[in-house]
Amino acid sequence: MARIILLQFAAAFIAALVALLVSGLSSGISALLGGLCCALPNAFFALRLLSSVRKPGGANPMNFFVGEFIKIALTLALMGAVVMFYPGLNWLAFLAAFIVVMKSYLILLFRH
């Protein structure tokens, strides 16, 4: 699970670097923020799931669904905050990095 989270953060920074080099500072920041809007909630979800598994009695399936709901709500809240507080947002870079980070787990699936 940690490898996926680290891969997502790496994908966010790589997408931001590519956007920065291709299209400038505003695009680089937008891509970084878009990638983090996906990677941070996923990291929170993974930590929550890991802590619930290590509790006495094992994992409760309801923890997964509650965690997924929190992850989606946190993603939407972060995206809303970026839209509200970053006036120079480049939507293409923001959404492209979000999608790249969201699908970066495919790299690990095809690696083995």
| 8-state DSSP, 24 | -
How do residues 28-71 score in pLDDT, each as one tens digit?
Answer: 999 999 999 999 999 999 998 888 877 776 677 888 899 999 99
Question: Which pTM does this prediction carry?
Answer: 0.90
- What distance in Å separates the CA atoms of residue 41 and residue 29, rounded to the nearest whole number? 18
Mean pLDDT of the chain: 92
- What distance in Å separates the CA atoms of residue 82 and residue 89, rounded to the nearest whole number? 8
